Amino acid sequence: MPELPEVEVTRLSFADAIRGAIIEHVRLGKPLRWALGVDPRILYGQQVLEVRRRGKYLLLDLTDGLLLMHLGMSGSLAFRAELPLAGTHDHFDLITSQGGLRLHDPRRFGAVVFCLGEDDPRARKLLGGLGAEPLGDEFRVPDFHRALQGRRAPVKQVLLAGDVVVGVGNIYASEALYKAGIRPTVAAHRLGRVRVQRLHRAIREVLAAAVATGGSTLRNFSNVHGEAGHYQQQAMVYGRAGQPCYQCGSAVKTIRQGQRSTFFCPRCQRL
């Protein structure tokens, strides 16, 4: 599943190109996870004002409403001056005066939803429970510490839940916990302020590095130009089970947490 860095990389790769464009046509393919919610013709003639991100959602601000886009498990976007003929897994085309934006999604867990604004009930349902943006100013150590103090679940599971801090998916949670020297199984409420500060800093540094390297391409992620990400090539523990830790030489271990694989170093992450 594309995580926050991949979604941000996607946003950066087409936001400038589509800003100011006028929507001329919309093509719908097979049904996605959630319906668009309006007659596509309502979008015709509207201008794309800005492209923002909230967690793993892309928000296309229009002159009268907004489009919420989610890439689901295997979705990707392409932006071209002229889109080629739609294929079997191309389920949404937004044709504008400056090019076409296409959602390609083999598993159809992605979605494009029209909302009147962020106060629209559909937008509140999707965005209302999201935690702080980890790369934004609202992600503050005191708030993070306070939230973790109220959670008895393992810290990695709290990070993945997304209601304390949003978008720290499986890859980057493992990497941030390693960087902070924290065992992924430790209960969140047991983390003192010093360790929370280390984790806060590690989350921001790991996500920023991932964005800078184009995200992670483990299977099929690419930006709108078809370019793969390279962060996985510098991962310290993720996907390295049985291999030596770069810091201490101990074998990296993997366990299952909430149906997801967790990677950690038993020596560098003792507590």
270 in any annotated domain: no
Residue 13 sits in the same domain as residue 41: yes
Residue 96 sits in the same domain as residue 147: no
195: annotated active-site residue? no
2: annotated active-site residue? yes
Residue 58 in 3-state DSSP? strand
> Helices in 106-250 by DSSP H: which ranges?
121-127, 141-149, 155-161, 170-180, 193-212
pLDDT at residue number 226: 66
When pLDDT is cut at 50, 70 and 90, the band that residue 192 belongs to is: very high
Residue 64 sits in the same domain as residue 145: no
pLDDT at residue number 230: 56
Residue 22 sits in the same domain as residue 103: yes
Catalytic residue among 54, 122, 198, 260: 260
> In the listed set 73, 96, 127, which residue is the last one of a domain according to the structure?
127
Q: How far is CA 105 from CA 3, 102, 149, 170, 198, in A?
A: 15, 10, 39, 21, 37
199 in any annotated domain: yes
15 in any annotated domain: yes
Residue 69 sits in the same domain as residue 22: yes
56: annotated active-site residue? yes
Catalytic residue among 5, 8, 11, 56: 56
Residue 54 sits in the same domain as residue 146: no
Residue 73 sits in the same domain as residue 19: yes
Strand order in the sheet with 90-96: 23-28, 90-96, 99-104, 76-80
d(CA 7, CA 150): 29
Q: What is the pLDDT of residues 17-41, one digit of tens each?
A: 999 999 999 999 999 999 999 999 9
Residue 190 sits in the same domain as residue 89: no
Catalytic residue among 3, 6, 8, 175: 3
- Tally of domains in the chain: 2
Residue 66 sits in the same domain as residue 96: yes
Q: What is the pLDDT of residues 244-260, one digit of tens each?
A: 999 999 999 999 998 89
Domain residues for the domain of 194 are 141-264
Beta strand pairing call for 111-115 and 65-70 = antiparallel
